[in-house]
Amino acid sequence: MKPISSPPSARNKARSPVHCGAGALVRGRPIAARACVLLLLSAAALCETRPRYGGTLRVQIRESVTTPEPPQTGPLAELTSAFTVSQWDPGRRAVYSADDNAPGGRPFLDTVEVQMGRPLRDQSIDLNLGRADLVELDPGDPQRPQSGRRVWSSAPVRLLALVFSPRVDDARIREALALSVDRTSIHTVLMQRQGEIAAGLLPQWLSGYSFVFQTATDVSKARALASAASGSRTLSLGVADPANRRIADRIALNARDAGLTVIPSAIPNPDVRLLEARIVFLDPALALASVAAALGLPQPSRADSPEALYLAERGLLEGYRVIPLLHLPDVYGVSPRVRGGPGITPGGEWRFESLWVEGRP
Amino acid sequence: MTLRIRLLLIFTVAVAAAVGVVEWSVTLNTREAFERTETQRVNALVAQFQQEYDRRKQEIVQAVTRIAESPEATDIAISASPADYYRVAERLAATNGLELLELVDGDGVIISSAEWPARFGYKEDWLTGDTDWKSLGAFLKREELQDKVTLSLVAVAVTTAGDRKLYVVGGQQLDSQFLSSLVLPEGMRALLYRNLDSGFDASQLLTAGSTPPSHALRSLIEQVLREKRPLTATLGQGAAAEVFHAQPLPGYRDNLLGVFLIGSSRKELVELESSLLRVGVFVAAAGILLSILLSWWATARVTRPVRNLAESAAKVAAGNWNTTVADTPSSDEIGLLARAFNRMTGQLVDQRERLVQAERVAAWRELARRLAHELKNPLFPLQITVENMQRAREAFPDQFDEVFRESSQTLLAEISNLKQIIGRFSDFAKMPPPDMQTVDFNQLASSTLKLFEAQLAQARIRPRIELDPHLRPVQADPEQMTRALRNLLLNAIDAMPEGGELTVRTMAIPGGVRLEVSDTGQGLTPEECARLFTPYYTTKTHGTGLGLAIVQSVVSDHNGRISVESAPGKGATFRIELG
């Protein structure tokens, strides 16, 4: 699990007056001048770090929530603990206003403006151009350090997995594909080491036993299984999210080594789909159940112990109906004008009530 | 066929043949000139393609070298984390105008691939040999992409940083777009066959425009791949025919990876030939028409005197001897002929007049001889009788009455004979025109023959009659025809003094009747047959020689025809045919 990064500029700037003060004492310059400089620096630092009310936080996300009413789950729903929905344009835009009667007190921000359905590339551009304050980042996009730009990451809370259609009934085909996928390369290169390689449905930080599941590739065995399979060795791979297209292409390339022809496409009912499932519960059993539901798997039996949970998860993985690939974090790029935070919890929840913004957008 | 038509045809054929020869000659020369030009065009295009090909190779080498020499390439080469650069190739390819770009580490492992980004981590073993990539330049390579296999023109540059290497492999696909970039003259097209798999694959035949005729090109391509040398072939027929020049494109290991084809349509040539043919046909038609008109006029000039001569000769043949040809002033053969013709007809007229005069004199002499002969025979008994009467009166007066009575009878008989002779001459002289009536010749023949029964019996001649029951009545003068038949019967009786057989025969002929009278007498010689119908000609010791002349006159007045068939000793058959 990658630790959640704190805003580095804020940390550095918060430390700077202490550093300056210590330096002044050591060097022993005249007191008045030193005091004056110290006071000015302290004032400046305080002005920069002191929360201030007002302003709008501009957020962009890929997802288009098209429900007529604001959602009751997910990040947007989490905003309602300190904000109230003042404008809802399904699939396009939402505006949340500060709730003066929030349990933790009124948030610093006046409003949070969320633009939905924004592609990752456009989000990144908008962040660089100062048109957005908080955007999602492609985990696989190599992060080049830019002045003042910060990155907030959650724990790996998204499962990326291949899920077979019921019509692919030959387990040898499914196992051949599972054995052919080179997860390490995907993790190292395409995901730039973000998240972690997954062979189980729950991440290691949540279950504690994920390492037990096998992630190594075995191309020769995969080829043998594929050649022994009776059905078609051509599979259509549905990729709903264009951001995952590169992963799908790599899977297709790996599958070719095993003698399978995997064709990434956007057809409505493919043989196998590349899906994401979010871990929304911190309770492993609930998380497993929710993931299974999200992937269309049968509900696991209730598990009261880690052993039972392991058995339940192994039961879901048997037969290779689902092939876990990676557990990925939520990664956000943050504008330099955003202060406070981090606004993302390890579970990937939005916590904007402690944020404020500097300057004019 | 008249002389004029014949001349006209000769002139027309001569003109048409001349125009045809000219047309053929022009077409042949045009085709040769076009094919020379065509060869030059194809050679120029092949040179242009080669130039363009070399330019592309140079551009690719420059782009790849530029990337390899960039600081970024050095960074990648020395980087401990090549995964950070897996998307670099796409950007570098785009900024350097390359379709294909792969960055490969010193072990041959792909760090980044522009054409197939997912291929990072895979090996390109062919790179790690000891090939001198710099001197090799750009070369053809079979390139496997994510969704297809293609033919590419690539170059390799190597970045060396310490003991680390980075291979930069970049290039462009040779595809329809590449062909589209070639500037081709009108009527020419470029095709590219990518020899990516064993055996001919029609889908690998690319063109910038229309669908190539792969089935027609297959044998040419296969021959080039087999013989590994440029070849030229003409495919198709007529306006669809196309000349293809095939240029083999080798890879860097001397393997033949492609065949470049330049097609030059023969449509232009065929259209030119068609145009020439149309013009030729038009000129020929106009020439022929003009030649017909000129020939018509010329032949008219040439044949008019000949025609006049022919017409005049026809008139002469018809009996109009007093015919001349209009005076022809020309001094050529026709003029000489015309003048000779006029002299000939003049002489003919003179000779005819002299002949007529002579014949008239001869006829009068013959008539006088006949009259003298015919009249002398009865006159001699008259003279004897009168002299007897005189002598009886003087010497035997008592017997004079008896002598007178007998002499009177003799005188009357001879006078009657004289009258008969004079009557025959009178009848021949005043032959009336026929009074046409419907006549049944069977009945006419029977009734006329019956009149001669006694005479025939006395002459010991057996009459025989053969009548055609299908004989149809014809228009004729029954009295004249009866007279004609009687004359023929009398003639036949006279021809058989020793008796014999006389046959009267009727026969239906198309459109008329035939009447034949045959005897079994001594027959006639051919000379006698020829003169038989001449008036006053007879082979007998008695008679006027007018009988058969009267028969001929009657038949002629009926627009009929009379003939005789005879041979000496075999009798004779006289035949009358009336229509």
Task: Decide which of A99 and B251 is more confident.
Answer: A99
CA gap B432, B424 in Å, rounded: 14
Query: How distant is the Cα of A258 from the closest Cα of chain B, in angstroms?
Result: 14
- Residue A260, pLDDT score: 94
- What residues of B are in contact with residue A252 (Cβ under 8 Å)? 118, 146
The number of C-alpha atoms within 13 Å of A218 and in the hemisphere containing its C-beta is 12
Contact criterion met (CB < 8 Å) for A190 and B86: yes
Question: Is the separation of the CB atoms in B119 and B113 below 8 Å?
Answer: yes
Band of pLDDT at residue A11, cut at 50, 70 and 90: very low
Q: What pLDDT, in 10s, does the model give residues B139-191?
A: 888 888 888 888 899 999 999 988 899 999 999 988 887 788 777 777 778 88
Cis-peptide into A342, omega within 30 deg: yes
- Residue B327, pLDDT score: 65
- What residues of A are in contact with residue B146 (Cβ under 8 Å)? 249, 252-253
Q: What pLDDT, in 10s, does the model give residues B104-113?
A: 999 999 999 9
| Three-class SS state of B157 | strand
Question: Is the separation of the CB atoms in A199 and A210 below 8 Å?
Answer: yes
Query: How distant is the Cα of A192 from the closest Cα of chain B, in angstroms?
Result: 7
Q: Which tokens in the block code for residue B281?
A: 């046909």
Q: Which tokens in the block code for residue B277?
A: 């043919």
Query: How distant is the Cα of A190 from the closest Cα of chain B, in angstroms?
Result: 8
Least confident window among A240-244, B52-56, B262-266 = B262-266
- Give all strands (DSSP E) within A117-221, no chain letters: 134-136, 150-164, 196-197
Mean pLDDT score, A29-57 = 64
Q: What pLDDT, in 10s, does the model give residues A77-103?
A: 888 888 999 999 999 999 999 999 888
Contact criterion met (CB < 8 Å) for B146 and A249: yes
A193, closest residue in chain B (CA to CA): B83
Q: Which residue(s) pair with A46 in the sheet?
A: none
| Residue B210 CB burial class (10 angstroms; 0-12, 13-18, ≥19) | exposed
- Residue A14, pLDDT score: 33
Question: Is the separation of the CB atoms in B579 and B571 below 8 Å?
Answer: no
A234-239 and A272-278 strand pairing = parallel
Least confident window among B36-45, B80-89, B242-251 = B36-45
Residue B579 has pLDDT above 90, yes or no: no
B121, closest residue in chain A (CA to CA): A185
CA gap B55, A32 in Å, rounded: 75
Q: Which residue(s) pair with B509 in the sheet?
A: B512
Contact criterion met (CB < 8 Å) for B86 and A250: no
- Residue A224, pLDDT score: 95
Q: How many residues does chain B have?
A: 579
- Non-local CB neighbours of A53 within 8 Å, separated by 6+ positions: A106, A108, A110, A356
Contact criterion met (CB < 8 Å) for B84 and A142: yes
Amino acid at B170: G
Mean pLDDT score, B184-211 = 79
- Residue B352, pLDDT score: 79
Q: What pLDDT, in 10s, does the model give residues B335-382?
A: 888 888 888 888 888 887 888 888 778 777 877 777 777 777 778 888
CA gap A265, B340 in Å, rounded: 110
Interface of B with A (CB under 8 A): 83-84, 86-87, 116-122, 146
Q: What are phi and psi of A297, to 5 degrees?
A: -95, 160
A-B contacts (CB, under 8 Å): 28
Average model confidence (pLDDT) across chain A: 83
Mean pLDDT score, B281-298 = 81
Residue A27 has pLDDT above 50, yes or no: no
- Residue A58, pLDDT score: 95
CA gap A276, A159 in Å, rounded: 5
CA gap A140, A155 in Å, rounded: 16
CA gap A88, A86 in Å, rounded: 7
CA gap A96, A70 in Å, rounded: 10
Residue B531 has pLDDT above 80, yes or no: no
Contact criterion met (CB < 8 Å) for B146 and A182: no
Amino acid at A334: V
User: What does pTM read for this prediction?
Assistant: 0.59
- Residue A9, pLDDT score: 36
Residue B541 has pLDDT above 70, yes or no: no
Residue A49 has pLDDT above 70, yes or no: no
Question: Is the separation of the CB atoms in B125 and B109 below 8 Å?
Answer: no
CA gap A255, B61 in Å, rounded: 34
Query: How distant is the Cα of A173 from the closest Cα of chain B, in angstroms?
Result: 21
Chain B interface mutation, best of A189, A219, A250, A274, highest count of B Cβ atoms under 10 Å: A189
Rounded CA Rg of chain A: 24
- Residue B349, pLDDT score: 83
Chain A interface mutation, best of B75, B79, B87, highest count of A Cβ atoms under 10 Å: B87
Amino acid at A274: L
Amino acid at A72: Q
**H or E stretch covering B199:** none
The number of C-alpha atoms within 13 Å of B401 and in the hemisphere containing its C-beta is 1
- Residue A328, pLDDT score: 92
Nearest residue to A150 (alpha-carbon basis) of A273, A20, A332: A332
Displacement of CA B431 from its chain's centroid (Å): 58
Whole-angstrom CA distances from A318 to A183, A297, A323 are: 19, 11, 10
Mean pLDDT score, A226-252 = 90
Residue A6 has pLDDT above 50, yes or no: no
Give the rounded percent of residues in chain B with a pLDDT score beyond 90: 21
Chain B interface mutation, best of A182, A217, A244, A253, highest count of B Cβ atoms under 10 Å: A253
CA gap B131, B444 in Å, rounded: 132
- What residues of A are in contact with residue B121 (Cβ under 8 Å)? 182, 185, 189
Mean pLDDT score, A12-19 = 34
Interface of A with B (CB under 8 A): 142, 182, 185, 188-190, 192-193, 246, 249-250, 252-253
- What residues of A are in contact with residue B116 (Cβ under 8 Å)? 249, 253
Give the one of B84, B116, B121 whose C-beta lies nearest to A185's C-beta. Answer: B121
Give the one of A142, A188, A249 whose C-beta lies nearest to B118's C-beta. Answer: A249
Amino acid at B150: T
Question: Is the separation of the CB atoms in A178 and A255 below 8 Å?
Answer: no
Q: In what order do the strands lie in the sheet with B512-519?
A: B461-466, B500-509, B512-519, B572-578, B561-566
Q: What pLDDT, in 10s, does the model give residues B386-411?
A: 888 888 888 888 888 888 888 888 88
Q: What pLDDT, in 10s, does the model give residues A154-213?
A: 999 999 999 999 999 899 999 999 999 999 999 999 888 889 999 899 999 999 998 889
Residue B127 has pLDDT above 60, yes or no: yes
Give the one of A189, A192, A252 whose C-beta lies nearest to B120's C-beta. Answer: A189
- Residue B128, pLDDT score: 85
CA gap B180, B63 in Å, rounded: 22
| Range list of H helices, B69-191 | 71-78, 88-95, 133-136, 176-180
